[in-house]
Amino acid sequence: MGERRFSLYDIEQFIKEAGAERVTEDAVEDLEKELEKLCDLVTKKAIRYAEHAGRKKLIREEDIMLTMGNEDSYAKP
């Protein structure tokens, strides 16, 4: 397995804050994998939005919000 991008402890705490009393290690590791996949997908889509807007190196909040289908979450010009 490669380098961890998320703290397993933080993921466990997140699950518990959502209402779970107990969490298995497998559940935490599975959520970590899914978070990594989701982050990869959102990032790639945000890069496409930024490139479409003429920005090659700068990802803005609105790029992320557009990938999440939440265009109203950023300030419009």
pLDDT of residue 66: 92
pLDDT at 72: 56
Q: What is the pLDDT of residues 10-59, one digit of tens each?
A: 999 999 999 999 999 999 999 999 999 999 999 999 999 999 999 989 99
Report the amino acid identity of residue 54: G
Q: What is the pLDDT of residue 4?
A: 80
Which sign, positive or negative, has the C-alpha torsion 35, 3, 6, 65?
A: negative
Distances (CA, A) of 53 to 6, 39, 41, 42, 64: 30, 21, 19, 16, 13
pLDDT value at position 77?
40
Q: Name the token pair of 14.
A: 């997140």
Instruction: Give the model's pLDDT for residue 26.
Output: 98
The conformation of residue 53, written as its DSSP 8-state character, comes to: T
Structural domains of the chain sorted by starting position, each given as residue range(s) with its CATH number in brackets: 8-73 (1.10.20.10)
